[in-house]
Amino acid sequence: MEKAIKLPKIGRVKAVIHRKAKPNWSLKSATISQDRDGKFYASVLYEYESHIIPIPVSDNAVGLDYVSSGLYVDDKGNVGSNHKYYRENHEKLAKAQRKISRMQGAKKGEEKSNNYMKQLIKINKIHRHIANQRLDNLHKLSTEIANQYDIVCVESLNMQAMSNKGFGNGRATLDNGYGMFLNMLAYKLSDRGKHFVKVDKWFPSSQICHACGRRHPELKNISIRTIMCSCGLIMSRDQNAALNIKIEGLCLLKMA
């Protein structure tokens, strides 16, 4: 694989190429940007024809219920990820930020010293490391799901509203990158001719017993973590919600 990119007026520049262009791809544009950690990135846009054959609707489906503590719980009770990348790196980041706060340039209007600028780059590298860890994990999880299932059903959530501090889990919501995860799932499933179904956010997935359909208004209280129905069902509210999301998603897909 090539280890350089050719830029107009500059020539060949050493680069890490993540994906090699194919002969039938047509180059449209390239955008060069510099991140806060000092590194340069080239985003290259290609156009190509893709003949995707849609996969027929089947029962090879999965429902995913969002949880801030682990990204998602699926209808089999599996948890997506327990990593908290920001929290795991918080001590290192806090130490670096305390150090820069004592340097010349930390105060408003004060001229920034060379040491301040060097420390700022170190802090930005920590942020980049956290972002890369999260991105790598989300790509692995979304690729695994897109390869395993033909239909993925999720709730249509407002992640911006959920990250609001008033919900009490803002940092956890931002840390797990669920919105980014859904975007990855959507395009990976589309590339494979598979189906990505969004269930309305007001659908009471956590309150309905998936086995008998009885509604449990008491489960509006999110501190109740288990559904116990008169039909005999005893299950984690998150797994039950994922099952309801899958059932509703399949109904929506078959009606479409």
| Enzyme catalytic residues | 65, 155, 238
Residue of 153, 189, 185, 197 lying closest to 62 (CA atoms): 153
Token couple for 116:
């301040």
The rounded distance, in Å, linking the Cα atoms of 228 and 211 is 11
End-to-end CA separation in angstroms for the chain: 43
β-sheet bridge partners, residue 72: 66
Token couple for 104:
């010349």
Which one-letter amino acid corresponds to residue 182? L
Ranges of beta strands (E only) in the chain are 4-7, 11-14, 26-34, 40-47, 61-67, 71-74, 151-155, 195-199, 226-228, 234-236
